Amino acid sequence: MVQLVGSLRKELADSLSACRVLVVGAGGIGCELLKNLVLTGFKNIEVIDLDTIDVSNLNRQFLFQKKHVGKSKAQVAKESVLQFCPTANITAYHDSIMNPDYNVEFFRNFMLVMNALDNRAARNHVNRMCLAADIPLIESGTAGYLGQVTVIKKGLTECYECQPKPTQKTFPGCTIRNTPSEPIHCIVWAKYLFNQLFGEEDADQEVSPDTADPELSWNPADTEARATASDQDGDIKRVSTKDWARSTGYDAVKLFNKLFKDDIQYLLTMDKLWKKRKAPLPLDWLEIQKLACPQEVTGTGLKDQQVLGVAGYSQLFSRSVETLRSMLADKGDGAELVWDKDDPPAMDFVTAAANLRMHIFSMNMKSRFDIKSMAGNIIPAIATTNAVIAGLIVLEALKILSGDVEQCRTIFLNKQPNPRKKLLVPCALDPPSANCYVCASKPEVTVKLNVHKTLVLALQDKILKEKFGMVAPDVQIEDGKGTILISSEEGETEANNSKFLSDFGIRNGSRLQVDDFLQDYTLLVNVIHCEDLEKDVEFEVVGDAPDKAPTPPSAQEEDKNVANGNKDSAEPSTSSKAPAEQDDVLIVDSDEEEPSSSTMDVSMESGGHKRKLHDAETGEASAKRQRLDQPSAGDEDDDDIIALD
C-alpha cells in the first residue's frame, strides 16, 4: 500500500523536504510560486531578485503590503512566506542573478531552478547557467490572460534560445522611465504619458524618473528612504501628473520643459545609471525655438513617412497638447480620453513625445508611420494568470523530482476555452535544435557586418552581449597567432574598443572564438563582410529571422503524427498504453496584442479553430510543434511571454 504524506507519496514528500531549489524572481509569478512551494512541502528554497517593491506591485504581488514599499522583494517575500511555514529554510538575495558570484558552481547546489523573470537577458543567462550545470530549469511567463510553463533539460529538450526571439514588446518600468535604449521604449513611454495627462491614470504607467530603479538600489536602506521620502515629481510616492498638468492649464511649454528638461536633468543626478551608458541631453523650449527651423524634414514620400527635426516635433507636441486639452474640456469635468492609434491628435502627441525622447537619448527619430506600426496595446498584468502559472510550475517540479522528466510538458493557459472546453493545453516538449547557438554540441553562428565600420566595442556590446546574451566575453581571432581582440579582464584590451574590426585583419571569412567563462559557454563566430546592409542596420545574424514563422510541417508529416486519426485530437489518456490525444486552442478575436512562445511566450490569432501560437513579443504565429504518438503528447509553441512581472 502506498504511504501518503498529505496528498503526496512519502518518497516524494521526503524528496521535497530534502532538495534545494532556486527561484529566480520574486515578482508577480515569484510571489505566488514561493507561497505554493512552502505549502507543497519544499523546505530548502533560495530566492533572488534585484528589484524593490513599488506601489504599483501591490495589486497583484500579495506577499507585499504598503509598509514594504521600497524594500527588497526577495527579502520581504521570504519573511511573508515564512508565516505560512515557519520551519522552512529560505535564503533571500537582493541581487542580480547575472552577478558573477552566481556561477556554475552556485547553480550546481540545486536540484531544480525555477524562473519567474521579466526580461530576456536574465532568462538567457539562467538558461545557459542551467545548461552548464546540467540542472533542470522550469521556465514560465505571463502576458495578460495568457501564460505558459515549460521544462528545459540539457540534451532532452529545447533550451530557451533554441528558437530565435522577436523584438521584446513589454519592458521593466525602470527601462521605460530611466534608461530607454530602443525607440520602442520611448513609444511606450509616450503612450503612458498620454494616459497620465489625458486618460485613465495607472500606477503601472508612471513616466517620471524612477528613484527606486534596481541599478540605484545597492543599499536597501537608501532605496527605502528614497521610495518614501517626498512627494516631489518623480518619487515613488506619486503626485498626479494629470493634476499638475491641470494646474498649469495644460500649458504646452511648461509640460515640455518639465518632461524633456527638468525630468532629464533629474535623471542626470542618478550618476550610477550613466557610468556605462551615454547620458541623455535635456531639451529647452526657448533654445530650440531660437536655434532650429521647424520645417526641417528628412525622408521622402508621404507626409507620414517623413521625419521632422527636433523643432518640428516640439511644435507638433505643442499643437497636439492644445488639441487634446480642448477635446478633454469639451467632454466635461472628470472626463478621460482613450488613446487610439487611428485618432490623429492622439497619434500626433505620441509621435512628437516619443521622438523628442529618442533625440534626448541619442536615438534616430522615427516617422509617424513607423511609430504607428510599432505602437500596440500594452499587455496588462493579471494576478489570476500569475497564480495559475505558479501552480503549474509546481506540478512540473513534482514530475521532475519524481524522476519523470519525460512526462513533463509545455502547458499553455489560454484566454478562451478550446472546442473541448479546455483552458489549459499540455504539449510535448521538443528535442534540442541542432542549429541552436547555445545548446548545440559545437555552437556556431554567422554574422554579416561591415568590417570597416564596425567597432570592436560594438562587437562586444551590441553583438556579443546584447544579441547573444553574453556577460563577460573573451574574443580570440583564429588567425594563426591567437590574437586577443577582447578580454573580460578590466583594462587589458580597452585600447581596442575604438578601432574597427578591419584594423585587426578581420575580413570576409574570418572566424572568432568567443568564450564566456561565467556562463561556461563557447561560441564560434563566422564573419561575412557586407557593405550594403540596410540603413541603420549594423549587423545581421544569418539565418536568424524571428519575425517570420518557421516552416510548418508538411501535410504528409502531419498525417504520420496524427493521434487516433484526428489532427485536432483530445487531451492525453490516463492509460500508459493508450495512444496520445491532443487539445487545440480556440482562436478568438482580441483587441490586445497577444503574446506567444519559443520556450516562453503565448499568443492566439483571431479567426480560426486551429491553434497558432504567437510570439508574445510580436504576435507573429509560430509553427506547430510536432505531434507525437506517445502518451500525454501535444503541440507546443516556442517563445516566452515577457511581461512586466
The confidence score (pLDDT) of residue 305 equals: 81
Cα separation values, 219 from 142, 224, 228, Å? 30, 9, 15
Q: Is 118 known to sit in a ligand binding site?
A: yes
494's CB contacts (< 8 A; 6+ apart) are none
Q: Is 301 known to sit in a ligand binding site?
A: no
Grid cell in block for residue 517: 567563462
Cα separation values, 149 from 273, 481, 614, Å? 33, 47, 15
Please determine, for residue 245, whether its predicted confidence score (pLDDT) is greater than 80. Answer: yes
Q: In 279-413, which ranges are E strands? A: 297-298, 307-308, 410-413
Lowest mean pLDDT among 231-240, 405-414, 593-602: 593-602
pTM of the model: 0.63
Q: How many CB atoms lie within 10 A of CB 641?
A: 32
Max distance between CA atoms of the chain, in angstroms, equals: 87
Residue with the larger pLDDT of the pair 595 and 211 = 211
Q: Is 245 known to sit in a ligand binding site?
A: no
Give me the mean pLDDT over the 100-118 stretch.
Answer: 94
User: Tens digits of per-residue pLDDT, 157-168?
Assistant: 999 999 877 665
Amino acid at 351: T
Q: Measured between alpha carbons, how far is 543 from 533 in angstroms, rounded to an integer? A: 15
Amino acid at 307: V
Pick from 493, 448, 443: which is nearest to 469 by CA? 443
221's CB contacts (< 8 A; 6+ apart) are none
The confidence score (pLDDT) of residue 376 equals: 59
Arithmetic mean of pLDDT over the chain: 79
Provide DSSP, 597-621: -EES-----TT-SS--PBPTTT-PB
Residue with the larger pLDDT of the pair 340 and 29 = 29
Grid cell in block for residue 358: 529618442
Q: Is 119 known to sit in a ligand binding site?
A: yes
Q: Measured between alpha carbons, how far is 407 from 357 in angstroms, rounded to an integer? A: 49
User: Tens digits of per-residue pLDDT, 381-435?
Assistant: 789 999 999 999 999 999 999 999 999 999 999 989 988 899 999 999 999 998 8
Q: Is 159 known to sit in a ligand binding site?
A: yes
Is the separation of the CB atoms in 592 and 170 below 8 Å? no
Q: Is 186 known to sit in a ligand binding site?
A: no
Q: Is 418 known to sit in a ligand binding site?
A: no
Give me the mean pLDDT over the 311-329 stretch.
Answer: 93
Grid cell in block for residue 377: 496595446
End-to-end CA distance of the chain: 43
Using CB atoms within 10 A of its CB, is residue 397 exposed (0-12), middle (13-18) or buried (19+)?
Answer: buried
Specify the DSSP element, H or E, that contains 305: none
User: Tens digits of per-residue pLDDT, 5-23?
Assistant: 777 888 888 899 899 999 9
Give me the mean pLDDT over the 214-243 stretch.
Answer: 50
Q: Is 403 known to sit in a ligand binding site?
A: no
Lowest mean pLDDT among 66-75, 320-329, 374-383: 374-383
Strand partners, 524: 444, 513
Q: How many CB atoms lie within 10 A of CB 62?
A: 16
Residue 519 in 3-state DSSP?
coil
Q: Is 25 known to sit in a ligand binding site?
A: yes
Phi, psi for 411 (deg, rounded to 5): -120, 130
Residue 459 in 3-state DSSP?
helix
The confidence score (pLDDT) of residue 389 equals: 96
Is the separation of the CB atoms in 27 and 73 below 8 Å? yes
The confidence score (pLDDT) of residue 460 equals: 93
Give me the mean pLDDT over the 46-62 stretch.
Answer: 89
Q: What is the 3-state secondary structure (H, E, C) of 391-437?
A: HHHHHHHHHHHCCCHHHCCEEEECCCCCCCCCCEEEECCCCCCCCCC
Amino acid at 20: R
The confidence score (pLDDT) of residue 258 equals: 93
Calculate the CA dihedral of residues 9, 12, 18, 24 and round it to 10 degrees.
-130
Q: Is 122 known to sit in a ligand binding site?
A: yes
Residue with cell 510535448: 428
Calculate the CA dihedral of residues 41, 47, 51, 53 and round it to 10 degrees.
30
Pick from 328, 329, 334: which is nearest to 346 by CA? 328
The confidence score (pLDDT) of residue 276 equals: 79
Pick from 24, 87, 28: which is nearest to 63 by CA? 28
Please determine, for residue 320, whether its predicted confidence score (pLDDT) is greater than 50. Answer: yes
The confidence score (pLDDT) of residue 613 equals: 38
CA 260: distance to chain centroid? 26
Q: Is 18 known to sit in a ligand binding site?
A: no
Amino acid at 44: N
**In the structure, what pLDDT confidence band is assigned to residue 46 with cuts at 50, 70 and 90?**
very high
| Top-ranked range on mean pLDDT: pick from 4-13, 443-452, 554-563 | 443-452
The confidence score (pLDDT) of residue 454 equals: 93
Q: Measured between alpha carbons, how far is 380 from 374 in angstroms, rounded to an integer? A: 17
* Residues noted as catalytic: 174
326's CB contacts (< 8 A; 6+ apart) are none
Residue with the larger pLDDT of the pair 529 and 578 = 529
Q: Is 391 known to sit in a ligand binding site?
A: no
User: Tens digits of per-residue pLDDT, 358-383?
Assistant: 999 999 999 888 888 787 555 667 89
User: Tens digits of per-residue pLDDT, 527-550?
Assistant: 999 988 887 788 999 875 433 333
Is the separation of the CB atoms in 164 and 544 below 8 Å? yes
The confidence score (pLDDT) of residue 205 equals: 78
Give me the mean pLDDT over the 313-338 stretch.
Answer: 90
The confidence score (pLDDT) of residue 466 equals: 85
